[in-house]
Structure 1
Amino acid sequence: MLRAFALLIGLSLALPVGAGDKLIPIGPAQRTALRIATAPLTAHAGAISVGLPATVTVSPGQERVVAAPVAGLVTGVRVAAGASVRAGQALVTIRSEQLMAGQRDLTLAAVQARLAEEAAKRDEGLFQEGIIPEARWQAARAAREQARAALAERRAWFRLMGLSQADIQAVERGERLVDSVTLGAPIAGEVLERMVMTGARVEAAAPLLRLAQLDPLWLEIQAPAEVAALVRKGQAISVPGTQASGKVVAVGGSVSAAQTVAIRASIANPGGLLRLNQNVEARIEALSGARHWRVPARAIVRMQGQNYVFVERPGGFEPEPVKVLSQSAQSAAVDGPFVGGEAIAVEGVAALKAAWQGMGGE
């Protein structure tokens, strides 16, 4: 042991310190004394990184808010938070005086549109016979178009209320009046939030329920900047321990104060195992054909915030910078300037680091 230490000290004192010269000269005798062993660099086809912190969210395009179309009294809420609903399912019933007044306006608009239509047809015939001037016929046509527009507006208002076409036609004919409107689910999904109770009075546009489709979901991932630099849209992603899997849809263009980059993925949620706002760990798979490398964890040394491995070269070893993508107790996945097949030091690494420091290593 004392002999190996003496060799290391002698090596450090004898090494050249030429500018840009990173080669650490190691002869056969020194290599044996320092117990340096190497292993070939192997390609790594697994994940870019595992265990990245992520939060389960939902796409804005899969979320809806059910709001009160009119002011009134809530006479029934038929679902609770967490309930699954189908598209069109009845959710909330509101009794409204405004609805009654709207039906009166719809009936009146229908009558006026019918009278304007008849007047325009009559004046057109009179004009064709030369009995009335063209200006009177044009005025009748304008009145007809205004009446049609007013009727279309009232019909659209009632469609927003959730009334069927048959109900709207019955109101136009004065055959039916309703004092309540029942709001249906705009999408199939789950009730995320219930914001109203039976018996409450609400104003028009007041939010009542929040719904969302929970498959697929989004993963909002926070990745170190060096890992994010290797991620591209379309890369496969999974949540270890579940069947949830998907693809990266966006990689952030800025770095947070914690030096992480936001990565968003769309992920299938079979069986509903993932829950909204759940904190999970994400695994990002490497792109097909990507050149990443697997090295023993003990082969990596750290100097001034940068990771290195020692690559065997003619006459010695050269430190090469690498980015650590993922690491376990035994091995690490790295990205570096390699072509494959290089021999790297896996034993005696501490001695090589000491020799490099003796050279005034970076």
Structure 2
Amino acid sequence: MKGDRLGNVADNPGRQHLRSGSKVNRKLKLLFVVGTIFLGGALAYRQLDKSCASPNVHEQTHGGAEKTANKEGLAAYICEVAAWVGAGPSGPLATRQVGAVDHGERQEAAKSQEHGQEEAEAGEKTLVRLSPEKIQEFKIETQVAAAGPVNLHIERPAEVKFNRNKLAHIVPRVAGVVSRVEVSEGRRVEKGQLMAVLESRELADAKATYLAAVERRDLAKEAFVREERLWQQKVSAEKEYLTAKTELAEADINAASAEQKLRALGLPASTIKGLSRDDANLTEYKIMAPLSGTIIEQHLSLGEAVGTDRAVFVIADVSTVWVDVTIYTSDVASIMPGQKVQIDLDGEQPISGTIEFVTPEVKEATRTAVARLVLDNSAQRLRPGMFVTARLEIPQEPVPVRVARSAVQRLDKANVVFVERAGGFAPRPVELGRENHDYVEIAAGLRPGETYVSNGVFLLKSLMQKSQLGDAD
């Protein structure tokens, strides 16, 4: 068998040659296919390399944002694969790292661009469009953002008190018994009005002394005139003339002294001049109102004996009142006369005023000082004894951008300001700085000169949220 097989080989050398030729052809075909694939891959890689390096790879239109983003993601992936396959000067590993970095940057850029597009679309969707008629109907008001001070406001307790310059404690000048009472507590009286009448023995004695002094003065004057005439006629001696003159001077002094005592008891000059011996009311002492105001206290009644050691009436003019603001030691350096103050009343319009006086000392017991305001109280909104809150304004340096406090609203857990846009108003997230009851500093998000909504902001917010709910449905 072995011999036969060798014989067959020896007999068919041409067949063996054909088999080896067939193998060579298959190898050549394989090499050709591999070469073709390699060449095609190289050309594709070069084209992809140009595409990946081109800046237009990230351009997109408003209408095809989503498709472009998908294409860019695929392109970025192919670019990464191509960069890994290609062999650069630094070797395959270095080429792979560069491709990964480029892919990360492109991915971040794509995300940023998509995010910006989403924000633009969201801003367009949240735009509140209103016609000029609706803006007027809803009382939407706008202002221009600008620089200005955001003064610091501090709140301190305060108490309303009577204006002591317009408060009268009426104490009788003489002791007596009440014979008449013409007014009552709570009633308003005018200056010079009769309030009560006392029967006073002390006043009667003072009046009698005055009348006697006036009578002696008149007699002394007559005697002096007679003695002067007789002395001039050389009828009487000079000594008698001088004696009469001395007696007249003493009488004048006594009469003037008696008159001053009556004035000290509160009798007006006209009443004193009208006194006479025929006057039956020498004991009558009239209590008159020293100023116009309201009787806030009354401490006498008919038939009561009153003395000179206590007030029988207290009259107060409450057309103006004092408001004493408690100032802590930390506030003393920044509080001074002339500063503006607002007095807050529960549920009512605040009352504005200025500081008139600051006590120079600090009370030892409370370690506080007092800043006093004198406020008009014609409307009777302030009652002495009330405790109120005083809001003091302390000047501060201006800030670059400030807006009205009413312009800031909370939306989606962020502070926003509605900014005027073409055709409507759009919310703008902002960062806040200092603030008071009137203004808020805008630290970021709004530039000077931009127009924002200062009144009617809550209505715009409600309309926007309503529109969003409608879109969700």
Asked if residue 218 in structure 1 is aligned to residue 322 in structure 2, the reply is: yes
**1:161-207 deviations in whole A, cap 9, x for unaligned?**
55555543342353443432221100111222222222211123542
Name 2:190's counterpart in structure 1. 86
Asked if residue 183 in structure 1 is aligned to residue 287 in structure 2, the reply is: yes
Is the alpha carbon distance of 1:253 and 1:178 closer, same or farther for their aligned partners in structure 2, counting shifts above 3 Å?
Answer: closer
Name 2:382's counterpart in structure 1. 274
- Equivalent pair of 2:158/2:388 in contact (CA under 8 Å): yes
Structure 1 regions of 5+ residues with no counterpart?
1-40, 296-328, 334-341, 347-362
Match 2:332 to one of 205, 215, 228 = 228
Distance 2:352 2:233 in 1: 75
Name 1:44's counterpart in structure 2. 149
Name 1:29's counterpart in structure 2. none
Displacement of 1:152 in angstroms is 2.5
Name 2:202's counterpart in structure 1. 98
Displacement of 1:42 in angstroms is 6.4
Identity %: 23
Displacement of 1:118 in angstroms is 2.0
**1:207-229 deviations in whole A, cap 9, x for unaligned?**
21122222321111102333332
Is the alpha carbon distance of 1:230 and 1:222 closer, same or farther for their aligned partners in structure 2, counting shifts above 3 Å?
Answer: same
Name 1:247's counterpart in structure 2. 354
**Corresponding pairs, count:** 264
Is the alpha carbon distance of 1:113 and 1:191 closer, same or farther for their aligned partners in structure 2, counting shifts above 3 Å?
Answer: same
1:106-255 equivalences under 5 Å are 106-129=210-233, 136-161=240-265, 163=267, 165=269, 167-240=271-344, 241-242=348-349, 244-255=351-362
**1:215-254 deviations in whole A, cap 9, x for unaligned?**
3211111023333322222223332335644321211233
Amino acid at match of 1:260: T
Name 2:181's counterpart in structure 1. 77
Distance 1:280 1:66 in 2: 30
Distance 2:262 2:358 in 1: 44
Amino acid at match of 1:90: L
Q: Decide which structure has the larger Cα Rg and report it.
A: 2
**1:272-316 deviations in whole A, cap 9, x for unaligned?**
1111121111233456xx637799xxxxxxxxxxxxxxxxxxxxx
Amino acid at match of 1:149: I
Superposition TM-score, scaled by structure 1 size: 0.61
Superposition TM-score, scaled by structure 2 size: 0.48
DSSP-derived class of the 1:112 partner:
helix
Distance 1:193 1:292 in 2: 51
Is the alpha carbon distance of 1:292 and 1:120 closer, same or farther for their aligned partners in structure 2, counting shifts above 3 Å?
Answer: farther
Asked if residue 62 in structure 1 is aligned to residue 169 in structure 2, the reply is: no
**1:106-134 deviations in whole A, cap 9, x for unaligned?**
22111011112223333444444555566
Is the alpha carbon distance of 1:82 and 1:238 closer, same or farther for their aligned partners in structure 2, counting shifts above 3 Å?
Answer: farther
Displacement of 1:344 in angstroms is 7.3
- Equivalent pair of 1:161/1:183 in contact (CA under 8 Å): no
Name the structure where helix makes up a greater proportion of residues.
2
- Equivalent pair of 1:74/1:198 in contact (CA under 8 Å): yes
- Equivalent pair of 2:338/2:355 in contact (CA under 8 Å): yes
Amino acid at match of 2:397: R
Name 1:34's counterpart in structure 2. none
Structure 2 regions of 5+ residues with no counterpart?
1-145, 403-431, 446-473
Name the structure where strand makes up a greater proportion of residues.
1
Is the alpha carbon distance of 1:275 and 1:167 closer, same or farther for their aligned partners in structure 2, counting shifts above 3 Å?
Answer: same
Displacement of 1:259 in angstroms is 4.3
Is the alpha carbon distance of 1:226 and 1:200 closer, same or farther for their aligned partners in structure 2, counting shifts above 3 Å?
Answer: same
Amino acid at match of 1:93: V
